[in-house]
Amino acid sequence: MKRVALVPGDGIGPEVISSAVRVLNETGFDVELVEFDIGYSRWKRDGKAITDDDVEGMKDCDCILFGAITTPPDPDYRSVLIRIRKELDLYANIRPLRSERIDAIIVRENTEGLYSGLEVLGDEEARTVRVITRRGSQRIAEVACRIASERRHLTVIHKANVLKSDVLFLKTCREVAERHGIRYEEMLVDAAAYNMVIRPERFDVMVTTNLFGDILSDEGAGIVGSLGLCASANLGDRWALFEPIHGSAPDIAGKGIANPVGAIRSAAMMLEWFGEKERARLIEQAVNSTLSRGITTPDLGGRCTTSEFTDAVISEIRHELRRGDQVDL
C-alpha cells in the first residue's frame, strides 16, 4: 500500500489538511497516512521544529502532504521546508495557476539559484552567491518540457542580460527544448512580471530559476484571485511533497473559515503523481463545479465555512460517482 507522510503543521494547516484527507478518502484511494508532528507547536514544546528521525521517517514514505508551518521567532531557525526540499532533493516546484484569467504552470528550480545558502554576512557588506549549474538547469528544463509536451508551449524566464549566470540557465533550457522539439520563447523576468498582469492568457508553461519562480508564483496567485486557491508540488526523482502555497494564516486560524481548495488541489496533484489520473480529475471537477456554483469561503466573498465547502465538494464527488460508468476508478 502507498504510504503518505501527513504534516498538518500549524494555524490553518490542520484545518485545510483535514478537508483534503476527507476528499481523498471519498475517492476511495487506498493509502496509509503516517502523521508527523512538526512545526511551531513542536518547537515550542521540544525546542526543535523537526528532527533527524522525522526526516528519516518521511523517507520511508512515498511522498508528503503538507499543510503549513508558522515560522518560529528564533534567529537561528532554519526553514523546515527548505530542509525537507534539500534532503529529499525535491528540485522541481510545480505551481499551476488556473482561473478565468489564466491557465498556466510555473516550473521553478527549487534547490539552487539565490537560495544556495552560500552567504557571507557582515555589518558593512553582505553577499549571497547565486548558483546556476548545468545539471540543475538541465533537470528542471526536462521537467518543464515533459509538462509542455502535453500542453501548448514553454516560456523560459531569465535575466541573462544582466545576470551572466543566467546565460548558462538560458542556454541549457534552449538545448533541452530543442532536443524535445518543444515550441518555446524567451522572456526577461521583469517583462514576464508585467505581461502576467496585462496579458496572462499568453502564458502556458513557464520555467525559471528559484527566486524568480518564488516571486512570480505569488504574483500568479494574485491573478488567480486568492492564495487559498493555489496548490503546488515539489518533485524529486524519488520523493515528492504536495502543499497549498499559503502559510499558516494566524489571522484566521481557529475560525473555521480557511479556504481548503489549495490543500484539496494539492491532494489531487498527489493522486496524479501516483498515476491515479481519474481520481485526480474527479477531485478537480468537484472543486471547480462547487466554486462555479458560487459556494465559497470568505476570502472569495462567500459565507461558507471550511467544512461546509468541503461537504459541498464531497457531495459533488458522490454525485459524479453515482453517474457511475463515466468514472473508471
Instruction: Please count the residues of this chain forming the interface with ligand NAI, following the rule CB under 6 A.
Output: 21
Q: Is residue 156 within the footprint of ligand NAI (CB under 6 A)? A: no
Between residues 21 and 229, which has the closer beta carbon with respect to Mg ion? 229
Q: What would the 3-class secondary structure string for 171-186 be? A: HHHHHHHHHHCCCEEE
DSSP code of 304?
Answer: -
Count helices and strands (H / E) in the chain: 11, 12
How many CA atoms does the CB half-sphere of 126 hold within 13 Å? 4
37 is catalytic: no
Options 190, 237, 255, 277, the catalytic residue: 190
Site string for Mg ion, 199-218 (x = CB under 5 A): ---------------x----
Which residues are within 8 A (CB) of 12 and not within 5 positions of it... i.e. 6 or more apart?
Answer: 67, 68, 246, 248, 249, 252, 253, 258
The answer to whether the CB of 132 falls within 8 A of the CB of 168 is yes
Least Å from the CB of residue 255 to ligand NAI: 10
Applying CB under 6 A, the span of 56-64, 67-75, 103-111, 140-148 interacting with ligand NAI comes to 67-75
The answer to whether the CB of 5 falls within 8 A of the CB of 64 is yes
Give bridge partners of residue 234 from the DSSP assignment.
93, 241
Options 10, 54, 91, 115, the catalytic residue: 115
Least Å from the CB of residue 268 to ligand NAI: 16
> Choosing among ligand NAI, Mg ion, none, which partner's interface includes residue 214 (Cβ < 5 to 8 Å by kind)?
Mg ion
Contacting residues toward ligand NAI, per CB under 6 A = 12, 16, 68-71, 81, 227-228, 243, 246-252, 258-259, 262, 299
- Please give the positions annotated as active site: 115, 159, 190, 214, 218
Contacting residues toward Mg ion, per CB under 5 A = 214
